[in-house]
Structures are given as C-alpha cells and as structure tokens.
Amino acid sequence: MVVIDESGAVVGIENNRLTIKCRDGLRSFPIETIDSITILGHSQMTTACIQHCLTYGIPVSFLSRGGKYFGYLQSTGHVNTFRQRRQCALYDEDFAMNLSRNIVMAKIKNQQVVLRRYEGEHKAELAEAEHMLVICENKARIAPKYDTLMGYEGQAAKAYFQGLAAVVDPDFHFSGRNRRPPKDEFNSLLSLGYSILMNELYAAIERKGMNPYFGFLHRDGEHHPTLASDMMEEWRAVIVDSTVMSLINGHEIHKHDFQFDDTDEGCYLTKEGLRIFLAKLDRKMQAHNRYLSYTDYAVSFRQGIDLQMDALARAVESGDADIYHPIRIR
C-alpha cells in the first residue's frame, strides 16, 4: 500500500519501479511490491504509470487531503457479468435483508469487543454504552425492515463512540463523529482510516468480478460504492478504530502531528503524522489472526478481506446469504 500526500508530486514508473517525485526529492519502490496506490490531494500520475496499473490490476484511488473519496482508476479485466447480474437481482430479495442483519450484528459485536478491551480502568464509564450495544444487537437480529435495522445500527454507533470518547487519552478531545472536514484529531484519523479501508474493499470486490455500487445494506441513491460500504461495516472497529485507539492511548502519535487548515477549519495529519499513521495501519493489515470462522490457520487482515470477498461471491452466486459469515473478533 502506497499513499501519496505530497502536494504537486508526480507518480510514475521507471525501470520497473514506482517513482514519486516531489519537492523533497525522489522516492521509489519495486513495482512488484505495490498492491494499491492512494493519492491524497493534488498530485499527478503519468500515462505510463496509469497503463501499468490498469494492465496489472493495481487499484489507484483519488481522495481529498481529508479523505473525501473522488474516484477510482479501474480495469475491466475482472468483470464477471453473470455474478453482477445475480448481485443486482438479489437487491429486493430476502437475501439482501438476511445479509444486512448479519453484517450489522457482527459490526455491533465487534464494537462491544473493542470497548471491552478498555474495561480494566473504565468499567463504570463504559457500562451504559456496552448495555446499549447489547440491546441494539438483539434488536437488529429481528429487525423487519431496512429503516429499522439502520436505526439500531445508528443507535449502536452513537453509544459506541460515546464509549470511545470516555476512554481515549484526554489530550485528544473527542465528542462524537464528524467529517468533511474532520474537526479534531480523533476524527481526522478515523476518516482517513475509513477511506483507506474503503479502497481496500473496493479493490477486493472488483477483483472478484462484483460491482462495488450494487449494495444490500446501503441502498440505492446514496451516491457512493454501497457494496464496499456494506462490507466495510464488519471491519471498521476491527481494523481502523483499534488502530487509532492504540496509536493515541499508546502515545505513538501526538497533538503536534496534526494541523488545522485555515480554509476549511479541518484537522489534518502533518507529513510526519501521516507517516506514523500509515505505518501503523499497514502493520495492522499485515497482522495475522484466526478470526475467520472457516479457516483453521491464521491469515493477515488483508488476506482475510480477500477471503471474505470470495465467500460473498459464493453467497451471491448461490443466492444464500448464510454462506457469508461476517468477521467477529474475540
């Protein structure tokens, strides 16, 4: 994973190496080690580099400096028309609601586990949030329609972030989610982390021949890749939230690693802060675990995402939502 944040950088390819030319000099990486490229802000990519990425299926995402998604460079080499027709046909079937319930329940369960990790010193502060999460998970299990299900998901998210706010390092004031632009350091990390995770999932969905815009939990009209949003729900707390909490409470990142923009009043990482965050997130993605219920061996989170998209493709082709088991951490 390569993330370019230098304004005015030119991304190219020379002698089978990805090159990044910017005011500070030149960086380069062996092209075979690159699995994705994310460009934040105002940088350029050469035609030769674009052609190479399209030919070899290297996903390239374009985001604002604050993590707002603009678009995606994609090849048509992995399109599976049969799978996409099945995916589209299941939108109004029981499959969609059954899959959506399972995803929301897994998301809430993972939020409970993340909060539980901080119970030692904060049991009293977390009691109310944890109680609400249990209630929302139970109600999500029997939710009869999407609006109801998303209502429980929203209640759970509000309680969960209130819980995180109670246990995060007090130097990092956090009173709930905000975005576009993020108004504080905690939200700055969350927003960028979610954007990077979204791009990982977008690429994995595309590699399996499915359409990232044909979602089930997130419905048409939301003007973003809804299937990628669906698949991200079970991973948010597992990958991004836990990474952010570890960075802040472990004092690996500090207030001086952020800066506020006078133009939009948003809070953004400095160059050094971005380096710290991306290194931590990449280590997380490469960490091995046994969270997948259908493997008897450890896989990295990045491999886990790929295996989960294989399972989703099988579920779509068979029309059986129970084939897909969202990840649940312990």
Same CATH fold assignment for domains 2-58 and 81-323: no
What 3-state class would DSSP assign to 59?
coil
| pLDDT for position 124 | 85
The model's pLDDT over 179-237, given as tens digits with 9 standing for 90+, comes to: 778 888 999 999 999 988 988 898 889 889 999 999 999 988 767 889 999 999 999 99
Separation of alpha carbons 112 and 135, rounded Å: 11
Q: Which amino acid, 186?
A: F
Q: Is the pLDDT of residue 8 over 70?
A: yes
Find the mean pLDDT for residues 288-295: 89
**Average predicted confidence (pLDDT) for the chain:** 89
Helix (H) or strand (E) holding 29, with range, is strand 25-30
Q: What percentage of the chain carries pLDDT values higher than 90?
A: 55
Q: Is the pLDDT of residue 7 over 70?
A: yes
Residues 307 and 295 sit within 8 Å (Cβ to Cβ): yes
Q: Is the pLDDT of residue 31 over 90?
A: no
Among 123, 105, 1, 82, which residue's Cα sits nearest to residue 321?
A: 105
| pLDDT for position 293 | 84
- For residue 33, the 8-state DSSP code is G
Helices 94-116 and 119-141 pack at an angle, to 10 degrees, of 170
Beta-carbon count within 10 A of 137 CB:
20
Backbone angles phi, psi at 171, to 5 degrees: -65, -25
Among 155, 129, 126, which residue's Cα sits nearest to residue 140?
A: 155
CB contact set of 47 (below 8 Å; sequence gap of 6+): none
| pLDDT for position 313 | 96
CATH number of this structure's domain 2-58, picked from the four choices 3.40.50.720, 3.20.10.10, 2.40.30.30, 3.100.10.20: 3.100.10.20
- In the chain, where the domains are located: 2-58, 81-323
Band of residue 285 on the pLDDT scale cut at 50, 70, 90:
very high
Based on C-alpha coordinates, what's the Rg of the chain? 20
DSSP 227-273: HHHHHHTTTIIIIIIHHHHHHHHTTSS-GGGEEE-TTT--EEE-HHH
| pLDDT for position 303 | 92
| pLDDT for position 65 | 67
Give CA 130 to chain center in angstroms: 23
Domain 81-323, CATH homologous superfamily name and number: CRISPR-associated endonuclease Cas1, C-terminal domain (1.20.120.920)
| pLDDT for position 2 | 81
The model's pLDDT over 108-145, given as tens digits with 9 standing for 90+, comes to: 999 999 999 988 878 888 999 999 999 999 999 999 99
pLDDT, greater one: 218 or 64: 218
User: Alpha helix (H) ranges present in the chain?
Assistant: 47-56, 81-89, 94-116, 119-141, 146-167, 185-207, 226-232, 242-249, 271-286, 301-318
Sheet harboring 2-4: ordered strands across?
Answer: 2-4, 37-40, 60-63, 69-73
Q: Torsion-angle region of residue 67: left (phi > 0), alpha (psi -120 to 50) or beta? A: left
| pLDDT for position 145 | 93
CB contact set of 164 (below 8 Å; sequence gap of 6+): 114, 115, 174, 186, 241, 245
| pLDDT for position 66 | 62
| pLDDT for position 67 | 63
Find the mean pLDDT for residues 59-69: 73
